[in-house]
């Protein structure tokens, strides 16, 4: 007796449920998110310190600027003193890294000095650099204050070395490197106290004019010593 071949009906593929997006990010993502949020806390704090001063700014103010609750801040920082320490540290670290990059770029001493001045001017017009100038390290407790002052000393020494090198090369007029470094850093630091974003001059214009004045002075090509404008 012939057996009839019964065609097998293929089974429909099993439907799998769509993947559910996990609210728990993988470890690297969690760390990146936490770091981004912590940086936002520091940025907001630096802006407020610059606007109102350290003592006049509270954690409630920082939380309000970020539209979060005050307890949320404690996931990222311990207290206001730690926030200030991190803000000032970042301003100093940015400056040191920029100066080192300028030095590594090469060129003669004047080229490197101008590049370092540009870095310094740019940073003191940014929140962390401005915080370094307007608030400073006086409010930071020891031993952190000592470390911050060590970093400041590195910046001063970098300017002194470049000035001394320029004098030795003959690309800078003879001068006292220590005093000249003080003048340069002091003049550029003052930008951080008066500069206002959205004001009459852009950050680029401020940096260009201040550096130009420091590099070339304010005297015009007038008559020489002992002469008047009508002398031949």
Question: Across all residues in the chain, what is the average pLDDT?
Answer: 86
pTM of the entire structure? 0.79
**Is residue 227 situated within a structural domain?**
no
What's the rounded Cα separation, in Å, for the pair 197 and 203? 7
> What pLDDT score was predicted for residue 105?
87
- Phi, psi at residue 183, to the nearest 5°? -65, -45
**Is residue 12 situated within a structural domain?**
no
State pLDDT tens for residues 204-213: 999 999 999 9
How many domains is the chain partitioned into structurally? 1
- CATH number of the domain enclosing 96: 1.10.357.10
**Is residue 190 situated within a structural domain?**
yes
> What pLDDT score was predicted for residue 72?
94
**Is residue 24 situated within a structural domain?**
no
Q: State which residues form the domain around 55.
A: 32-216
> What pLDDT score was predicted for residue 232?
47
DSSP of 63-111: HHHHTS-HHHHTTT-S-HHHHHHHHHHHHHHHHHHHHHHHHHT---HHH
State pLDDT tens for residues 99-128: 999 888 888 999 999 999 999 999 999 999
Q: Which structure tokens are listed for 190?
A: 């003052």
**Is residue 41 situated within a structural domain?**
yes
State pLDDT tens for residues 51-75: 999 999 999 999 999 999 999 999 9
Cβ-proximal residues to 129 (8 Å cutoff; 6+ apart), any chain: 91, 94, 95, 122, 123, 192
**Is residue 23 situated within a structural domain?**
no
**Is residue 57 situated within a structural domain?**
yes
Q: DSSP secondary-structure letter at 193? A: H
State pLDDT tens for residues 156-177: 999 999 999 999 999 999 999 9
State pLDDT tens for residues 15-44: 555 656 555 556 668 888 889 999 999 999
> What pLDDT score was predicted for residue 219?
77
**Is residue 119 situated within a structural domain?**
yes
């Amino acid at each position: 007796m012939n057996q009839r071949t019964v065609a097998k009906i293929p089974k429909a593929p099993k439907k799998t449920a769509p993947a559910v997006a996990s609210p728990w990010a993988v470890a690297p993502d969690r760390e990146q998110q936490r770091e981004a949020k912590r940086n936002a806390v520091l940025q907001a704090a630096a802006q407020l310190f610059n606007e109102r001063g350290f003592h006049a700014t509270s954690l409630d103010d920082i939380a309000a600027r970020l539209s979060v609750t005050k307890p949320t801040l404690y996931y990222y920082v311990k207290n206001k003193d730690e926030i200030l320490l991190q803000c000032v540290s970042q301003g100093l670290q940015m400056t040191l890294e920029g100066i080192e990059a300028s030095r590594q770029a090469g060129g003669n001493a004047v080229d490197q000095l101008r590049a370092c001045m540009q870095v310094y001017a740019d940073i003191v017009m940014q929140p962390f650099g401005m915080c370094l100038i307007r608030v400073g390290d006086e409010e930071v407790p020891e031993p952190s204050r000592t470390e911050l002052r060590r970093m400041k000393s590195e910046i001063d020494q970098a300017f002194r070395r470049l000035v001394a090198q320029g004098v030795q090369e003959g690309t800078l007029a003879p001068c006292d490197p220590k005093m000249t470094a003080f003048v340069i850093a002091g003049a550029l630091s003052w930008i951080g106290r008066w500069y206002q974003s959205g004001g009459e001059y852009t950050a680029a214009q401020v940096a260009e004019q201040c550096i130009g004045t420091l590099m070339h002075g304010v005297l015009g090509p007038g008559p020489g010593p002992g002469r008047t404008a009508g002398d031949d």
